[in-house]
Amino acid sequence: RLICLISNFAFSVALAVGAQQRLLPGSCGFEQGACGYTSDPAYAPWTVNDEGRFIMADSSFMEETDKAILVSPDLEIFEWSCLRLVYQITGMGSLLVHLRPDSENFDYVLWSADKPSDSWLIANVDLRNISGTYQLLMEAQPSQRPGNSIAIFEIHIIPGYCIECNFEEHHLCGYSNQWNPNVNWYVGARLAQDPQSDLPDDHTMNNEKGHYMYVDSIYVKKLQEVAKLVSPMTTTPMAGCLSFYYQRNQARGNFFSVFTRDPLGHYEEIWRPDVYATSTWKLVQVDIRAYHPLEVVYEVAFNSASGGYVAVDDIAFSPEFCHTETEPTFDPSVANCDFEESLCQYYQEHTGMSVWNRVTVRPNAYRIGDHTTGSGFFLMAHTHFTSGPGYMGRLHAPFLPGNHKYCLRFHYALSGFWKIDNTLSLYIYDENNVAQERIWTVSESSRDVWTEVDITYQKPMSTKIVFVSICRNFWDCGIVALDDVTVTLGDCRITAGPLRPAPGHCYFETGDCGYTQENESKRGNWIRLRGQTPTSYTGPRGDHTLGVGHFMYIEASHMLPGHSSQLASPELRGSSRLQCLTFFYHMYGSGTGVLSVFLRQADGTKDRLLWQRHGEQSISWMKAMVDYDCFSRHKIIFEAVRGPSIRSDIALDDIVFRKGPCQGVYDHNNSQPHALEFQTCNLVFQQEVCLFYGLAGSHKEPHSCALQLDTARADDGYPALKLTQEVQRVRVACHRIYQNLAWDVFCTSNVTIRFRQPLPVTVED
């Protein structure tokens, strides 16, 4: 009964104190209206309660729309701040908070909840210091059944970090006691406590009216149980100095520690006291690095009924580390490399030969290119690069500091191996170049498919990763390929990746990301698939993201020649800045048709063509990068047209929207096509050319070939064109593939050539 009185009194006093806290623009208690917040007219409305105090989205007012979006006024808050949202979900539904930066096409999800409750709950969302104007969006999605609603009681934006608290606010800054029937944390206040108690005044006000959190052995029902005070979960990366004040008496009868806990439930102790008891408030400062979401947990346990108490107050955070010996934050991307320009900071051991070599494969129909773009560089280990019958190749990464959890991701591909033992392994080496542990090795792999590997590791000392490939016998060895190595801080299961895509990213691993069929029919739809497409000699063998994941494609055998299918992105709101669209496409097969990208505006104007490819491009996934601008709401449409035969599967994967302009390796033909720029001609071989690839090398028969191409002059002035055997740079798609154990035979047949510009004169030789 006394505990209830203390808690109720603490909350009533805290209401008055908390009301005096400085609120930033965007705060609202909905007492006298919506404070500049408005409902997005494209969706269902939010309604302010007639008596004030909250705003609500009710399923009763939703017809065709299944959500309501509440938009804040424009905000310019240049300091780190904390959004505290008091809300309630009644029945079934969800509530999301988005951040909408100015001049960007899409919104960032900051927080979400979908658990119903019988009372008000508090959410805490860190808002990083942003240099530009932005808006906050509250997206409510109550279930369509009657009686479901989502209400917001107040929106407070205050300076500082969400894990900071002096416990004077009525909702305790989102800190919570993890309920235990035997021992718990309570709100302490000297003014309301038992006169016989020896609990202290609080630290914030240094008088009997202030508040703090405490746990006392007199309320313990069972010893060795743990009381846990849990901070709000951080929502954005942060690193610096966590500080707090504590008091502790009869310390030999209790245990006090502070931990961090990630979303996977993993604990890491960051502090424990070095003194048994304190008669006054004692300051603690400890450095933390929150590269992914985490909670700070204050734990107390008692081994005696007279174990005293532990009290905590004035939790604060600073972006500056509190200890000079703490290693400063660093960028683990020094270990990233896509091998497009060089080996980056990777190097090989000097053994007299280079096992790992940078190579590139031009787009073709029989050998995959690199993973980054489809036509760039990657690393390859092969006996062709060595002088002996076998090799051992070690590729060393740069050193990274210890006491950090790292997420390593890379892609590899194998080809031509009879045995895969020791084909590719990954070791951790210490500063003395001694192998500490093998953390991964190839167990089984799809051949000629780039496969992603992600590994989480942590060591107390400075270490580096080393890729090791061993070939013991010429006849057992094939090709080992490596590309796109990245290292980030944190656990791979938590950090952004294919299964946790960032805003604007879609890998199709967890669903269709809101992409829809524009001309849905029983035949000819885009299909989400995992694995290889069913028709031979067309379509990818695996997706681009993981190698064993999902992608979207059209199955040409379900369509007629010339039939098309459109895949539409979720609606994008438009921006005053240039936008960059990147995606990977796969167009392999002798009958491949056309893939086009259109911009479709909401006002119904004619679709604008942004990008287009005709015919077979490569057996590899190819990267496309498209700059475009649009100021109003719009969608991006991917249209695939089936070609003349069933070998016309077209696939898409890894669609990403970013602020433009696009940077990096551009698609070879990124310019927007024009209908008058092309003339289609058929190239017919007078003599067949066959390329033989095998373990003993490669050769070509016959050595030369006469090529003849004749076309009639087009109405738009295209001249007749002749190609002779001296034109050797023409790349020919291979239509027939024969496989006979160690030998692959590729024979050329017909091919379609498209000329981008009219030729000024007839080419004779």
The predicted model gives 580-592 an average pLDDT of 96
In the predicted structure, residue 731 carries a pLDDT above the cut 80: no
Q: Which residue has the higher pLDDT, 97 or 385?
A: 97
Cα 753 to chain centroid, rounded: 39
From residue 690, alpha-carbon distances to 212, 589, 615 in Å are 82, 18, 22
Q: Among 5-9, 236-240, 647-651, which range has the highest average pLDDT?
A: 647-651
CB 623 within 8 A of CB 338: no
- The 10s digit of each residue's pLDDT in 589-608 is 999 999 999 999 988 889 99
Q: Which residue has the higher pLDDT, 688 or 618?
A: 618
Q: Name the band, by pLDDT with cuts 50, 70 and 90, for residue 352.
A: low
High-pLDDT (> 90) share of the chain, %: 51
Q: What is the DSSP letter of 326?
A: S
In the predicted structure, residue 723 carries a pLDDT above the cut 70: no
In the predicted structure, residue 763 carries a pLDDT above the cut 60: no
In the predicted structure, residue 103 carries a pLDDT above the cut 50: yes
Tell me what pLDDT residue 257 has. 95
In the predicted structure, residue 415 carries a pLDDT above the cut 60: yes
In the predicted structure, residue 358 carries a pLDDT above the cut 90: yes
The predicted model gives 326-345 an average pLDDT of 88
| Residue 698 one-letter amino acid | S
Cα 308 to chain centroid, rounded: 47
Tell me what pLDDT residue 191 has. 58
- Neighbouring residues of 179: CB distance < 8 A, sequence distance ≥ 6: none
- The dihedrals phi and psi of 557, each to the nearest 5 degrees, come to -65, -15
Tokens of 43: 């969706």
- What's the per-residue H, E or C state across 16-36? HHHCCCCCCCCCECCCCCCCC
Give the lowest-confidence range in 100-104, 146-150, 506-510, 599-603.
100-104
Q: Cα-atom radius of gyration of the chain, to the nearest Å?
A: 32
Specify the 3-state DSSP secondary structure of 496. Answer: coil
Tell me what pLDDT residue 195 has. 54
Q: Please list the helix, strand and coil fractions of the chain in percent, rounded to the nearest 5, in that order.
A: 5, 45, 50
Tokens of 398: 């740069």
Tell me what pLDDT residue 386 has. 64
Tokens of 70: 């509440």
In the predicted structure, residue 653 carries a pLDDT above the cut 80: yes
Rounded Cα gap, residues 26 and 22, in angstroms: 12
Rounded Cα gap, residues 276 and 250, in angstroms: 8
Least Cα distance to 635 among 596, 597, 672, 601 occurs for 601
Give the lowest-confidence range in 404-408, 475-479, 628-632.
475-479
Tell me what pLDDT residue 296 has. 97
Rounded Cα gap, residues 216 and 183, in angstroms: 8
Concatenate the DSSP letters of all residues of 413-432 into one string.
Answer: EEES-S--TTSSEEEEE-TT
Tokens of 560: 């007629």
Tokens of 745: 């035979």
Rounded Cα gap, residues 41 and 43, in angstroms: 5
Rounded Cα gap, residues 89 and 288, in angstroms: 33
Rounded Cα gap, residues 320 and 238, in angstroms: 10
CB 552 within 8 A of CB 518: no
The predicted model gives 724-737 an average pLDDT of 32
Tell me what pLDDT residue 190 has. 64
Tokens of 42: 């494209």
Rounded Cα gap, residues 225 and 214, in angstroms: 15
- The dihedrals phi and psi of 60, each to the nearest 5 degrees, come to -65, -25
Tell me what pLDDT residue 714 has. 32
- The 10s digit of each residue's pLDDT in 523-551 is 679 999 999 999 999 999 999 999 999 99
Q: What is the DSSP letter of 502?
A: P
Tell me what pLDDT residue 16 has. 39
- Burial (0-12, 13-18, 19+ Cβ within 10 Å), 241: middle
β partners of residue 290: 238
pTM: 0.77
The predicted model gives 186-200 an average pLDDT of 68
Give the lowest-confidence range in 216-225, 326-335, 471-480.
471-480
Tokens of 360: 């590139």
Q: Which residue has the higher pLDDT, 126 or 326?
A: 126
Q: Which residue has the higher pLDDT, 196 or 617?
A: 617
Residue 261 CA neighbour count, 13 Å, CB half: 15
Start-to-end Cα distance in the chain: 102
Give the lowest-confidence range in 189-198, 273-282, 294-303, 389-398.
189-198
Rounded Cα gap, residues 102 and 686, in angstroms: 60
| Residue 475 one-letter amino acid | W
Least Cα distance to 372 among 673, 608, 654, 108 occurs for 654
47-48 and 594-601 beta bridge pairing = unpaired
- The 10s digit of each residue's pLDDT in 426-463 is 999 999 999 999 999 988 766 789 999 999 999 999 99
Tell me what pLDDT residue 567 has. 96
The predicted model gives 702-721 an average pLDDT of 33
Concatenate the DSSP letters of all residues of 545-581 into one string.
Answer: SSSSSEEEEE-GGGS-TT-EEEEEPPPB--EEEEEEE
Tell me what pLDDT residue 692 has. 35
594: left (phi over 0), alpha (psi -120 to 50) or beta: beta
Q: Among 86-90, 102-106, 500-504, 660-664, which range has the highest average pLDDT?
A: 86-90
E runs forming strands in 588-633: 594-601, 608-614, 622-630
The predicted model gives 355-384 an average pLDDT of 89
Q: Name the band, by pLDDT with cuts 50, 70 and 90, for residue 281.
A: very high
Rounded Cα gap, residues 271 and 287, in angstroms: 10
Tell me what pLDDT residue 219 has. 81
Tell me what pLDDT residue 703 has. 30
| Residue 253 one-letter amino acid | G
In the predicted structure, residue 680 carries a pLDDT above the cut 60: no
Rounded Cα gap, residues 526 and 639, in angstroms: 10
Rounded Cα gap, residues 249 and 252, in angstroms: 8
Give the lowest-confidence range in 275-289, 319-333, 560-574.
319-333
Q: Among 427-436, 661-670, 690-699, which range has the highest average pLDDT?
A: 427-436
Give the lowest-confidence range in 76-90, 252-266, 347-361, 741-755.
741-755
The predicted model gives 667-678 an average pLDDT of 36
Least Cα distance to 692 among 680, 684, 700 occurs for 700
In the predicted structure, residue 505 carries a pLDDT above the cut 60: yes
Q: Which residue has the tokens 């050539």?
A: 753
| Residue 414 one-letter amino acid | L
Tell me what pLDDT residue 5 has. 29
Mean pLDDT, rounded, of the chain: 80
- CA triplet 744, 748, 750: central angle to 5 degrees? 150
Rounded Cα gap, residues 345 and 128, in angstroms: 32
Rounded Cα gap, residues 490 and 458, in angstroms: 9
| Residue 443 one-letter amino acid | S
In the predicted structure, residue 1 carries a pLDDT above the cut 70: no
Rounded Cα gap, residues 413 and 451, in angstroms: 6
404-415 and 451-459 beta bridge pairing = antiparallel
Q: Name the band, by pLDDT with cuts 50, 70 and 90, for residue 725.
A: very low
In the predicted structure, residue 86 carries a pLDDT above the cut 80: yes
Give the lowest-confidence range in 5-14, 196-205, 324-333.
5-14
Rounded Cα gap, residues 488 and 501, in angstroms: 15
Q: Name the band, by pLDDT with cuts 50, 70 and 90, for residue 573.
A: confident
Tell me what pLDDT residue 145 has. 80
- CA triplet 671, 672, 675: central angle to 5 degrees? 130
- The 10s digit of each residue's pLDDT in 204-238 is 877 777 899 999 888 888 877 899 999 999 988 88
Q: Which residue has the higher pLDDT, 286 or 16?
A: 286
Least Cα distance to 111 among 100, 121, 89, 126 occurs for 126
Tell me what pLDDT residue 194 has. 54
